[in-house]
Chain A
Amino acid sequence: MMKKFREVILLLLLLSFVPHAEGTRYSLPGKPALTRCRSPEKETFTCWWEPGSDGGLPTTYALYYRKENSETVYECPDYHTAGKNSCFFNKNDTSIWVNYNITVVASNALGSTFSDPVDIDVVYIVKPNPPEKVAVTVMEDKGWPFLRVSWEPPHKADTRSGWITLIYELRVKLEGENEWEMHLAGQQKMFNIFSLRSGGRYLVQVRCKPDHGFWSEWSSASHIKVPDYFHRERSVWILITVFFAFIFLIVSWCIHINSHSLKHCILPPVPGPKIRGFDKQLLKNGKSEDIFSALVVSDFPPTSSSNYEDLLVEYLEVYIPEEQELILEESKDLHDGCLKPKGSTFDSDSGRGSCDSHTLLMDKCGEAKDDGRQTDQDGSQTGSEAQRQQAAWEQEALTYAHEDMISPDMSSGRVKTWPSVFSPLPQYSLSPLSQPSSLETAKQHCLSDSLFPPSSLSSYLTQPGQSTKEYVEVHTVNEEDMVLLHPVPVGHSHGKGCLQTHQGEDYSKVNGVDKNNVLLLQREVMEEQVDMCPCENKDANGATESYCTSSAQKSIPCIHTALPVQEEKAVNGYVDTATMFPLPIH
């Protein structure tokens, strides 16, 4: 009794001393504060407090509570279950019908300090535990994967009876990113997430909240990897294909629209032949007479001497060996060759000009060939004969011209001989195909040509270097004002192979054609007096003609009497060589 009394006295003294003590390190404990109270399932709750300074002395804490409208003060039933500085209220002590008024008291040897009281309504402090058993699986919906997240409510929360109603929320993010994608799931315990990245790794978390209360903590993160899927790639390829097909259609349409101009650009048209001053329509529509009359140019051949200079073209002595001749006979497309130069005959722009007797001769030969072919079946042979003839003529004309050029005595003769070469030729080439008389003469001409043995001709032709000449003889003049000529063998030749001469025929050179379509012939040399010539005389057959040519201008000792020339009186008039006095040989 006495001991206890002493203790009490001491306690009172201590209490009294406390206010007077100054400057000592001991003091009343600092004011504690209730930090939070939480109920996980609305059936129990826990309160935590924060202690103040302890004042240097060992301090104890106590929690007291009072129920609403009741004066009874109760002390915390359980200080240990929830940890340090906490008070746990179990089921029996928890009532949802009343508020709690809670105070924490810190006390040490010097005194006690009370915290501010706090009123608690259990229903409003509910913070559930995080949802449990969060399961994430990958599922497929028509090839597109999606995540199915399922979970269970915290086991303490009684949602089955409806005591607590929880709503859930989940969040998803890709590994390595910082932004979460939130989804509110309501009261359901399962959720689908779409729009996933192929091959991505995702983290999923879930939390819950009662209708009145706090959000729980996030559940631990669940990892899931979405498998790679190629549907997106396939759709991208389809898009690309469609796009390119569209582009292709557009391009092909543009090309189709511009096909004409493109064709001109890529494949330029080949320029066709053009004859200056010649109307192409005549070829399509007109008769042949019109065509050929159109081809005739009135001022051709140029008669003025001033044009002679233009006509003079330097020549190359062309010399065709036997093989080439054969090739020429067989494979030469004379028709084309004849056509082509025909166009250029009157084209002053081309380098060849009208002096190109080579081409002129070709024209003539082509025509002859055509005549022969069209008229007679033997025309093929005659055609070949004509080809040979033409080749020979070419050579002859060239050499003749050459001879003309080089002989100094014949300035005038040379001048004169030009037209003699040229003038008959165009006329000849214009021989119409449909004239029977001309055809007959051509036929005769061709036949006469054909009688000439080919071998002799070829042998004749193989002799190189021989300057051979040919002369044309006016055969007849037809109604069309055409002079039909045929070659006349000169009869004299220097070398061998000179064949029979054609006797009894006169020849004359045409000097010119005047404007009245009168041939002005020039009395040239010679008849084919063979005796004096070194030509060989063979074959007294008069029907044959020989291609023995000799240079009339050369001083050949061949002299022969002038034989009567075949002459016919043409409609337009012609010059009778026989009547003309014989010109001196030169």
Chain B
Amino acid sequence: MHTMAVIQRSVWALLLWPSLLTVSMPLDCKEEQGSLSGCTSISQEKLLDRVIHHAELIYRVSEESCSLFEEMFLPFPLQLQSSQAGYACITKALPMPSSKSEIQQISDKWLLHSVLMLVQSWIEPLVYLQTTMDRYDHAPDMLLNKTKWVSDKLISLEQGVVVLIKKMLDEGMLATTYSEQGLFQSDVQPEMLESVMRDYTLLSCFKKDAHKMETFLKLLKCRQTDKYNCP
């Protein structure tokens, strides 16, 4: 059996050998190529634009979800309390540049890595959020769709940032360490109000971090085009 598989694979490898040769030769890359014979790789500027666009969308949708959640679940007095909140954002522990002066001093590499860290740290909580929100009785479909959308797009964003880092910094791929993020475990069903508060905190924190991601990426783009006028 094993030999058969080996032989099969070797045969296929032999057969596919010419194709591999042709593929490895890079083709000329054209801008806005709609035909089949496109570029071998996407250019760095295009990639960065797409990533920024991605981040913008994520932030916008997260903002909408947050406001929706507020309207639906939170009674008015608690809205004021949430800002003071007993629940801290999960990413508070991450080494993030927080002030403008710090951001100006940070290098491109660090910017990208910060973004990546943010993205990677939020993937699992959002998945968790999906599960908790399904448990609600009268959660509107729109809210659920939005949160699902955000979590999907976040995964895609992570891939994009990884590719970007690889392109810009020539670094290898950094695998997402999901296992490290196992902060949330659905072992005990919390109370309704507590759950709601926690979810709301989660959403609002994510909204802030999404905005941070977008800002970093735009700053990065600004540095790419015009280094001296950027904030």
Residues of A with Cβ closer than 8 Å to B?
4, 8, 34, 36-37, 64, 66, 68-69, 73, 91, 95-99, 101, 103, 105, 112, 114, 116-121, 123-125, 161-163, 212-214
Question: Within 8 Å CB of A37, what residues of B?
Answer: 36
Instruction: Let me know if B36 and A121 touch, CB within 8 A.
Output: no
> Do residues B16 and A73 form an inter-chain contact, with CB atoms below 8 A?
yes
Q: How far is the CB of B171 from chain A (nearest CB, A)?
A: 13
Given known A101-B23, A114-B19, A161-B61, contact A119–B40 (CB-CB < 8 A): yes
Query: Is the Cβ of A124 less than 8 Å from the Cβ of B32?
Result: yes
- Dominant secondary structure of chain B at its interface with chain A: helix
The one of A34, A68, A121, A161 in contact with B33, judged by C-beta atoms closer than 8 angstroms, is A121
Q: Does B160 contact A (CB under 8 A)?
A: yes
Say whether B36 contacts A36, CB under 8 Å.
yes
Q: Does B4 contact A (CB under 8 A)?
A: yes
For A214, list chain B residues within 8 Å (CB).
34
CA distance A350 to B169 in the complex (A): 136
* Contact yes or no, B36 A119, CB < 8 A: yes
With A95-B156, A97-B159, A161-B57 already in contact, the answer to whether A117 and B42 are too (CB < 8 A) is: no
Question: In the assembly, what is the distance between CA of A95 and CA of B38, in Å?
Answer: 16
Chain A residues positioned under 8 Å from B27 (CB to CB): 119
Residues of B within 8 A of A69 (CB): 41, 166
CB distance from A565 to the nearest CB of B (A): 147
Can you offer 22 A-B residue contacts whose CB atoms are under 8 A?
A4-B4, A8-B4, A66-B23, A69-B166, A96-B50, A97-B51, A97-B163, A98-B42, A103-B19, A105-B16, A118-B37, A119-B36, A119-B37, A119-B40, A124-B38, A161-B149, A162-B57, A162-B60, A212-B32, A212-B34, A213-B34, A214-B34
A-B contact count (CB 8 A): 87
> How distant is the Cα of A213 from the Cα of B38 in the complex, in angstroms?
14
Min distance, Cβ A285 to any Cβ of chain B, angstroms: 110
Knowing A96-B156, A97-B160, A163-B57 touch, does A118 contact B36 (C-beta < 8 A)? yes
Known: A117-B22, A119-B27, A214-B34. A101 touches B40 (CB 8 A): yes
Please, what's the 1-or-0 string for B1-16, where 1 marks a CB less than 8 Å from any CB in chain A? 0001001000000011
Q: B182 contacts the other chain (Cβ, under 8 Å)?
A: no
Looking across the interface, which residue of chain A has its beta carbon closest to that of B162?
A97
The residues of B that contact A212 with a CB separation of less than 8 Å are: 32, 34
Q: Which of A97, A112, A114 contacts B50 (CB 8 A)?
A: A97
CB of A532 to closest CB in B, whole Å: 154
Assess the A68–B159 pair: CB atoms within 8 A: no
Chain A positions within 8 Å of B33 at CB level: 121, 124
Instruction: List, in ascending order, chain A residues with CB within 8 A of B127's CB.
Output: none
Select which of A91, A97, A118, A119 is within 8 A of B47 by beta carbon.
Answer: A97
In the complex, which residues of chain A have a beta carbon less than 8 angstroms from the beta carbon of B39? 99, 119, 121
Please give me the residue from chain B that is nearest to A4 by CB atom. B4
Q: A68-B42, A112-B15, A117-B23 are in contact. List 19 more A-B contacts (CB 8 A).
A: A34-B36, A36-B36, A37-B36, A64-B16, A68-B40, A91-B152, A95-B160, A96-B50, A96-B160, A97-B47, A97-B50, A97-B156, A97-B160, A99-B39, A119-B36, A119-B38, A119-B40, A212-B34, A214-B34
CA distance A73 to B19 in the complex (A): 11
